[in-house]
Structure 1
Amino acid sequence: MTKKWLPIESNPDVLNAYLRNLGVPIPKVEFCDVYGLDPTLLLFVPRPVRAMILLYPITPEIDAADAKTGEMQAAEIKAFMAENDVFFSKQTVENACGTMALLHAVMNNLDAVGDVRKDSPIDFLKREGLHVNPEERALLIESDPNLDEAHMGASAEGVTTNQPLNANIDLHFTCFVHTKNQCVELDGRKQSPLLHGVCMDNEQFVSVTAEAIQAKISLNKESFRFNIIALVDKSS
């Protein structure tokens, strides 16, 4: 039987507390809301932006567009992953997409997030999960009791009441990171990452990510269930 967790809320306060519980007690980064993709609104997001996390409603149209992109990029993605140390994990726990998005954001920005507590879930992934394949990373995540406990705590936080464990959830988190001069989308439901464009600096990353997110929104224009959170450096 597939392991199943309660979903977590798309809420910066929830993710910031979760990051501390996962092993970064005094983070140098923080999650914040992104209020829109208009260039003027994006100026309100502190820089540098280390990652963006998107919550979106799953639809056949969005899944088909992502699958087509993955097929077209297959050779390029294979070469990119072979040449670069990108932390990408498959998702094997149902409703774990919020945790996966947070881990993808943090594990690809370890130099920026702050000191990691010994024997914490993030420390465990640093020691055991950096040099294995995405399927092996998924097993490490699924089998870590400390991560289980931390996720359970995060799922109980927020302003909304969680749904029953057996509820059918049609919302999903995905993560965009700036690594090796690329905007890379990391989603454990997919076979591999997706590349959204060359980004030579942080402003380009913000712009390219906004375009990639807008492309998903355009495939479901009637929905208001999109939400964007950024991982940024804390202001001094």
Structure 2
Amino acid sequence: MSGEDDSSGWQLTESDPGVFTELLKTLGVPLVVDDLYSLDSAFLADFQPIHAFIFLFKWVSSPPEPMAGSFDPDFPGFFAHQVVNNACATLAVMNAIGNIPGLPMGQQLTELLSFTTGMDPNTRGMVLTSADWLREAHNALSPPQAISLDGLGLPKQAEDAYHFIVYMPYMGSVYEFDGLKSFPVRHGAYDEKQGWVEKARGIIEDRIGTYPPGALDFNLLAIREDPLPRLQNQLAELQTAGNESEAAHVMVKLSEENAKRERWAFENSLRRHNYLGLIHSLLLTLAKTGRLDAAKVGAKKALDERIAKRKEKGESMDED
């Protein structure tokens, strides 16, 4: 679960495909993560093969029993509990890739997963979150806050907590891996012809249906095969065969994928940057030119207007 202060050293992670893909790259796993904006079969077909869904939702206190499916206390695969706050994104990734047979991965990850073999979920979670290198990989794209307001006596407002879980196939059934649950949740066997994605789609749609109409308290990501090698091979084969029309179509897809990777790399570089020096320089320049007081007045006015609008909607917002 994310959204609470924690002294464990694990920081909040964005639900962003570029962040998750960078994490997989650091772990030596040749997969990518993509945003999904629809559960339509035709839309999902463009992302196949999909190994797992990562589902983000606003966490609310709920009964210990699963909403659907049933606990599998004898689950023979990989499952780790979340034992510290803010680690749920990486724990979700670990619970997913730990159950993909034959998946290539880096040496550190291979050794870590091997070391946890035979451990119960809680001990396994403690071992994972105690691995300094894994925590550093998790925190790499969520740097610490440069400015802390602790100790200033400012009013605090409880923030919504969000949680990542996983849906994926394992031994002919669709499973749900939630690090806050006692055991993996088995949702039953899926039809081999239709595939596991079709069954998982219904499970996720039912879960989304429990939210109020129009709610935006969730997000869905897909862990899938990296399409770049496949597209590059297709392009080479089509060009060799002289099929220029199909080759042009593949080139468009390849260009779109490369552009997406460039965007991810740029956004991740911004996440790694410390803007404290820039902020200090801007404030210093405003003060030297006599515009700092006016900027403060303008910012205060904008904040008051923002608070007023939220109050009109019945929302609470403490002035901070």
The normalised TM-score by structure 1 is 0.80
Residue 110 of structure 1, CA deviation: 4.8
Q: 1:178 aligns with which of 169, 177, 200?
A: 169
The one-letter code of the counterpart of 1:3 is S
- In 2: Cα distance, 1:170 partner to 1:209 partner: 24
Q: List, as ranges, runs of 4+ consecutive aligned residues in structure 1 with deviation greater than 3 Å.
A: 161-169, 200-203
Contact 1:57 1:170 in 2 (8 A): yes
RMSD: 2.9
After superposition, the C-alpha distances for 1:194-228 in whole angstroms (9 at most, x for unaligned) are 11221243843111111121122111134213111
SS class of match (1:197)? strand
- CA deviations over 1:149-182 (Å, ceiling 9, x no partner): 111103249xxx9998997441110011211001
Q: C-alpha deviations, 1:16-72, integer Å up to 9, x for none?
A: 111121233xx1x2111211123333233x222111100111134xx34x72547x7
Match of 2:28 in 1: 23
The answer to whether the Cα contact below 8 Å between 2:87 and 2:129 also exists between their aligned partners in 1 is no
Counterpart of 1:39 in structure 2 is 41
3-state SS in 1 of match to 2:102:
helix
Matched residue type, 1:199: Y
- Show the counterpart of 1:6: 11
Cα deviation, residue 185, structure 1 = 0.4
For 1:78, the equivalent position in structure 2 comes to 73
Q: How far apart are residue 141 of structure 1 and its match?
A: 1.0
Is there any run of 5+ residues in structure 1 with no aligned partner, and where? none
Count of aligned positions: 215
Q: Within 5 A, what are the aligned runs for 1:112-127?
A: 112=103, 114=104, 116-118=105-107, 120=108, 122-127=109-114
Larger RCO (alpha carbons 8 Å, 6+ apart)? 1
Give the superposition deviation at 1:95.
1.2
The residue type equivalent to 1:57 in the other structure is K
Query: d(CA) in 2 for partners of 1:7 and 1:163?
Result: 16
Q: Take 2:205 and 2:187, find their aligned partners in 1: how far apart are those partners?
A: 12
- Identical pairs, percent: 26
C-alpha distance 210-4 of structure 1, shift in aligned 2 (>3 A):
farther
1:199 aligns with 2:194: no
Matched residue SS, 1:148: helix
Q: For 2:8, what is the secondary structure of its paired residue? A: coil
Instruction: Provide closer, same or farther for how the CA distance between residues 164 and 190 of structure 1 changes in structure 2, counting only shifts above 3 A.
Output: farther
